[in-house]
Structure 1
Amino acid sequence: MSTLVTLPSDDPRVVRDAVRAAIDGGPPIGLGMLDGVGVEVPDDVAVVIATSGSSGIPKRVMLSADALRASAEATTARIGAGRWVLALPAGYVAGLQVLVRSLLAGTDPILLDGRFSPIAFAEATLMHATSEPLYTSLVPAQVSTLLDAADDAAVRAAVAQYRAILVGGQALPESVRERAADAGMRLVRTYGASETSGGCVYDGVPLDTVAVREVDGELQLAGPMLAAGYLGDAELTARTFVSDDEGLRWYRTGDAGLVDDGVVRVHGRIDNVIVSGGINISLDRVERIVRGIPGFDRAVVVGVPDARWGEASVIVLPRGEQLRRSEADHLQQARDAVAAEIGAPARPARLILVDELALLTSGKPDRDAISRLVAELR
C-alpha cells in the first residue's frame, strides 16, 4: 500500500509535476479530495479522482499508471500526436488526460493565463501556433462560449488552429456542432468517464483497445484504461465493474444506449427519468431535443414535482439576446418540438430564465443546484 498525496487541483503546474512523478512510479496523488490525508491506496494506483459523475453521488475513482497510459496511447493512435492546450481544470479527468498525453509525448502542456475565456484561449493558442499539430479538450459550454465570441478575429483564428478539439462531459447539441463546423472548428465528440480514464469512444467509434456491449439496455465498456475501482467502497466497485465468463472486466456505465453496426449511440442516463401521468420520460432525451432549437443550446432540463401529473420537466436557460420573442412563445416552440419527436406527455411544463447557470468545476451543469433553484422558484 502507498500513502496518497492530496493536491489542490486548481494549480495545473503543481498537478502536472505530481502527475509526471505518479505515472513514473512516484507517490500516488489525490485530486479534488478534501479528506485524503494519510489515505492508503494499492501500490498500482497512480491517481485518485474525486467525482460525482452523472449520479450526483461522490465517488473516488482509482486509476493506475497503466490505465492512464493506455488511454493516452489509444487517443494518439486515433487522432495523432502534437501539443496539447489545457483549457479544463487539471482535477477533471479530461484535463488530467491532457497532462498525461503531453507528458508521454515529451512535451509541456500549454496553459491558459488564468481562467478560461475566449481571449485567454486565443492568446495561448496563437502564441504557440507552429507547424506542430495542436489539440485540446473542451466541454460543450466552452465550445458555445468560443462560438459566441467568433466575431473576434483572434478567437476565430485560434479555433481554426486545432487538428482536433475533443468535446465531452455531456451531449453536444447538433446546433452547436453545425455552428462549430461553419467556424472551422474540428470537433471530435467523446464518450467515457473517470472510470475509463476519460473518453474512450470518439465520434461513436470505440478506440482500438476498447470493447463496447449493451446489456439489458445499458452500455458497458471494457479495455486496459478501466479504473481499479472506488477508493473505500468495495460494494460499489463490485456492482459497477463486472467480469464475464471469460474473465473480461466490464464497466457498467449507467447509460442507456445501443451499439448499431459498430457505432455507439447513447440515449441518456438510465436513472434520469421522471414519471409524468404514469408515463416514463427521459429528461436526457427531452434536453437533447430542446438543445436542438436555435438559442437553446445551453438549456438544462430538470424534473420537478407536479400536483396534477406527479412529475413534470422544466427548461432552465441563461438569459441572452438569443431569445427574440416572449418566454411563452419560446416555451411553446420547445413543447411543440418535444411533442413532435417523443409525444405530448413529455412536453416541458415551464421555461425559467436565469442570469447564469450553476456549473461544476468540470464545466458541466450542476444539476443538483439547478434543481434546488427551480424548486425554490416554484
Structure 2
Amino acid sequence: MPELDLATLHEAIAAAIPDRECVVTPDRRLTWRQVTERSRRLAHVLHGHGLGRHERAVEPWESQHDHVALYLHNGPEYLEGLLGAHKARVAPFNVNYRYVDDELAQLFADARPGAIVFHACFAAAIERVVRRLGITPLLLQVADSSGERLLDGALDYEAALAAASTEPLDVRPDAGDLHILYTGGTTGLPKGVLWRIGDLMVGPLGLTRRDGTAIDDLTEAVARAERGAHRVLIGPPLMHGAGTWSALGGWCGGACVVFPERVDGMDAADLMATAERERVTRMPMVGDAFARPIVEVLERGSYDLSTLRTMLNSAAAISPDVKRRLMERLPTTRIVDVLGSSESGFAVTRSGSADRPFAPAPGAAVLSADRTRRLAPGEDELGWLAKGGGRVPLGYLNDPDKTASTFITVDGERLVVAGDRARLLADGTVEVHGREATTINTGGEKVFAEEVEGVLRDLPGVADALVVGRPSERWGTEIVAVLRLAPGAEAGGEAGSEADEAGGEADEAGGETSDERLREGCAVHLARYKIPKAFVRTGEGLRLPNGKADYAAARALVDGL
C-alpha cells in the first residue's frame, strides 16, 4: 500500500471535517476548509512561477525540488507555507529569524531558495542578502505590525493569494517529496536535513497505530482524525523542529493548532492564559527555558488547565525540581520527555518527574564506541545513541561527507547517529550522557556538560547554567560554568571570579551563589574533576529562541574574561 503524504492527508481530513477549527490565533480562527483553500492558493502561486519537483537521478544529499524559505514568526502563514509548498511539490525549509546577514547569506547560498515567504519586518535583511548573493527568488511578503513598505519586486502575500485559484493544483504530491529541516547550528554551521515527507509523518509526526506500525491507509488516517479532539498550543518557534513537528503532528491527528499572542519570544503568562481560554489539550516545551517561567506563573496565579493532558518536552532537559513543581500544579497533566534530533526524530522517551533513564522508541539502538555493532543490554560501554527502523532522513543537503559519517549501515540496517553518547542498561533502558560536541576532556577525564549543567540548575539561586571548556596549561581543558542567577540571588563575589583546584581562594564573601557555595553544591553530586574551575555570571539569556543552549554565547563570555 502506498505511503501517505502531508498534502494528500490534510486535503482528505479537511473534506471530512471542513468546519472544524484548524488554526486559532488571538485575532483569527480558520477552519480546515479555509486553510485548505488558502494553501491551495499558495500552491498555485508557487507553481505559476515555475516552482516544483524536477525528476532526475540524485544522490542522498541532493534535492530534486525547488525550495521555498519560510522566514516567518509563528502564525497561520507559516503553516500555510509548509502545506502549500508540499501541494506544489516544492520543498520548504526553515529560516532562523534571529540570523544576521552573514548567517542568512550562508543559509541561502546552501539552500538556494526559489521563493522566500517572509514577514515585513525582515524585508530589509532580505533585500540586502538577495542583492549580495545575486539571486532572484519569488518574494512573498506577509504584512505585520512593523509598518514596513512592500519590498521592491515582492508580492504582497494576501494579494497574491486572493488572485489565485482555490481549485486543487494539477500536480500529485508524493510521500517521497522532501521536507528540509535546517539544524540550529549550535555546535557548527546549520545543516539541511533531507526528510522524505512520508518518513517524517510516520516518524516525528507520529502517524502510527498504538503498536507502533505505520498508518498507510488514507481512510484509516481520516477516521482517526475525525475522532481526534486535540487542541495543540504552539509556544516554541516553528522555525525549529519542536514547534513544526508538534503543529504538523497535531494536524495529522485532526487537531486544531493554537498560537499565543506573542510569537517572537516566550511569554509564560500569555501561554497559560491562552491554554486556559482555548481549552488546549497538548503543549510542547523546550526544557527549563519554558518550564521554569511556566511553573513560576502557575505558582503566582490560578488557571483552569483541566483539559491539558500532555506537556511534551524535547530539545533540552527540565530540572527534576522544576518538573516536580510543575506536576504539583498540574496533577492531571502528563509530562513526557523525548530525546532526539533533527536527524533522528524522537529516539527515547520517559514520563514523570524522576530523572531516570529513557525507554527506547521503536528503531532506537545504542551502538558501540567504534559504531560497528549494536550493544547488548548491560554491556558496560559508553556508546552512541542511534535510530533506525527505516524512518530516517536521506542525508544532509549538499554535504556528502557529513551524510556518510552520520548515516551509517550496521548489520545491514541504515542508522542515523546524531552525536548523543549513551549507555544501554541491563533492563533495556537508555542512560543518555549528552552530545559528543559538548563533551569536555579535562586532565584525561571526559565530562559531559549537560550532567554538570543539570546539577548547577538545581542549586539555590541559579536560574540557568551552561558549561564549556577553555584551554588550561595544567588540565589541557578546564571546565567553566556560565550562570544566569535567579532574581534576588546574591553572588557574594564579582562576576567571572575563578577558583583554583582546591576551590578555596575565590569568592569567599558568602551568598548562596558564591563560588564556594556553588562548589559545595556540586560536590554533593559530582566527582571532583567535574566541578567547574571557574564561574562566570551574566544577566543575559543563555538560550536560543527555540530554548536550546546557546553555547556560542557562553563561550564568547568565557573568552572575553
From 528, 534, 553, the equivalent of 1:350 is 534
TM-superposed CA distance for 1:56, in Å, is: 2.8
1:214 maps to 2:364: no
Kept in 2, the 8 Å contact 1:137–1:167? The answer is yes
Compared CA separation, residues 58 and 170, structure 1 to 2 (3 A): same
Amino acid in the other structure paired with 1:104: C
1:126 maps to 2:276: yes
Kept in 2, the 8 Å contact 1:68–1:100? The answer is no
Q: State how far apart, in whole Å, the 1-side matches of 2:410 and 2:443 are.
A: 39
Amino acid in the other structure paired with 2:270: A
TM-superposed CA distance for 1:340, in Å, is: 4.1
Percent identity of equivalent pairs: 23
Specify the alignment match of 1:55 in structure 2: 187
Larger radius of gyration: 2
Q: What are structure 1's unaligned runs of at least 5 residues?
A: none
SS at match of 1:265: strand
Scaled by the length of structure 1, the TM-score of the pair is: 0.87
Q: State how far apart, in whole Å, the 1-side matches of 2:393 and 2:240 are.
A: 15
1:259 maps to 2:406: no
SS at match of 2:325: helix
Amino acid in the other structure paired with 2:481: I
How many residue pairs match? The answer is 368
Compared CA separation, residues 174 and 294, structure 1 to 2 (3 A): farther
Amino acid in the other structure paired with 1:73: G
Runs of 4 or more above 6 Å deviation: none
Specify the alignment match of 2:54 in structure 1: none
1:103-182 equivalence runs, <5 A: 103-115=251-263, 116-129=266-279, 134-140=281-287, 141-154=289-302, 156-158=303-305, 161-182=307-328
Specify the alignment match of 1:67 in structure 2: 199
Q: State how far apart, in whole Å, the 1-side matches of 2:480 and 2:195 are.
A: 37
TM-superposed CA distance for 1:90, in Å, is: 0.7
1:34 maps to 2:188: no
Compared CA separation, residues 125 and 52, structure 1 to 2 (3 A): closer
Specify the alignment match of 1:18 in structure 2: 81
Amino acid in the other structure paired with 1:103: W
Quick check: which one's strand share is greater? 1
Amino acid in the other structure paired with 1:164: T
Q: State how far apart, in whole Å, the 1-side matches of 2:211 and 2:348 are.
A: 10
Q: State how far apart, in whole Å, the 2-side matches of 1:258 and 1:178 are.
A: 26
Amino acid in the other structure paired with 1:90: L
SS at match of 1:34: helix
Specify the alignment match of 1:98 in structure 2: 246
SS at match of 1:149: helix
TM-superposed CA distance for 1:55, in Å, is: 2.7
Amino acid in the other structure paired with 1:361: P
TM-superposed CA distance for 1:332, in Å, is: 2.3
Specify the alignment match of 2:98 in structure 1: none
Compared CA separation, residues 321 and 38, structure 1 to 2 (3 A): closer
TM-superposed CA distance for 1:169, in Å, is: 0.9
Q: State how far apart, in whole Å, the 2-side matches of 1:341 and 1:74 are.
A: 41
Q: State how far apart, in whole Å, the 1-side matches of 2:211 and 2:246 are.
A: 15
TM-superposed CA distance for 1:290, in Å, is: 1.8
Q: CA offsets per residue over residues 283-326 of structure 1, 9 Å max, x none?
A: 22222222232333521112222344332222222233362562
Q: Once structures 1 and 2 are overlaid, which stretch shifts more, 355-364 or 273-282?
A: 273-282
Q: What's the C-alpha RMSD, in Å, of the aligned pairs?
A: 2.8
Kept in 1, the 8 Å contact 2:175–2:197? The answer is no
Q: State how far apart, in whole Å, the 1-side matches of 2:72 and 2:410 are.
A: 36
SS at match of 2:304: helix
Amino acid in the other structure paired with 1:12: G
